[in-house]
Chain A
Amino acid sequence: QSVLTQPPSVSGAPGQRVTISCTGSSLNIGSYDVHWYQHLPGAAPRLLIHDNINRPSGVPDRFSGSKSGTSASLVITGLQAEDEGDYYCQSPDGSLSLWVFGGGTKLTV
């Protein structure tokens, strides 16, 4: 079992919007920033969102993040076929000396 809980799968039609949730506790999301990664087939994982809401250079604004209390969400709007893959949340846990990941969410478009 992962420390951070994500739905195993989500799906949506092209052009639609999907939300991926990430639930933790006061030891992780409740105390630290949340980060999101995209892992597409055949590619290296890619940072999508850092520090809850910030997109690195090159990440489309179709991807957005939010955090409230001990939960966080990744929203993808205008779904595209190339968005299909795995998405993970991540946060420090207990201190900045330990990272934990969510179990991952498989997005089907």
Chain B
Amino acid sequence: QVQLQESGPGLVKPSETLSLICNVSGASISRYYWNWIRKSAGDRLEWLGRIYTTGGPNYNPSLGGRVTMSIDTSKNQFSLKLTSVTAADTAVYYCARGYTFALNWGQGTLVTVSS
């Protein structure tokens, strides 16, 4: 059974970088595509991007080049970095497995952007 668990700071200051990690168990991270998705105020879901071990990641252009994703196969985990955050980046962040849809999801982690 594939399980995903997000971790990282719950509070980030405006203009700083949000960094999250997703630990994967029950599946080799090398075999699948991995995504970051967030749910912000108003209950809207937004796809942030997708990464695989080979080839370039795909990012949502709406983030204006602020997002970077990476994979660590030795730890079976992948990560998200979002730079120059503002209050609008306050959301519950989810990691998920899948190429065209999210088959498995983590429980999510709340990140608040505030000084």
Q: Are B100's CB and A35's CB within 8 A?
A: yes
Which interface residue of B46, B61, B96, B100 has the most chain A CB atoms within 10 A?
B100
Number of interface residues, chain A, beta carbon within 8 A: 26
Which of the 9-residue segments B7-15, B65-73, B80-88, B104-112 touches chain A? Answer: B104-112
Q: Which residues of A contact B100 (CB under 8 A)?
A: 32-33, 35, 92, 96, 99
In which size bucket is the chain B interface?
20 to 34
Task: Identify which of B50, B61, B94, B99 contacts A45 (C-beta below 8 A).
Answer: B94
Instruction: Give the residues from 92 to 109 in chain A that come closer than 8 angstroms, CB to CB, to chain B.
Output: 92, 96-101, 103-104, 106
Q: Are B45's CB and A98's CB within 8 A?
A: no
A44/B108 contact (C-beta < 8 A), A35-B101, A98-B47, A101-B45 known: yes
B103 at interface, CB cutoff 8 A: yes
Q: Are A104's CB and B60's CB within 8 A?
A: no
A46 at interface, CB cutoff 8 A: yes
Binding site for B on A (CB under 8 A): 2, 32-33, 35, 37, 39, 44-47, 50-51, 56, 86, 88, 90, 92, 96-101, 103-104, 106
7 A-B pairs in the complex with CB atoms less than 8 angstroms apart:
A37-B45, A45-B96, A45-B105, A56-B103, A90-B102, A99-B47, A104-B43
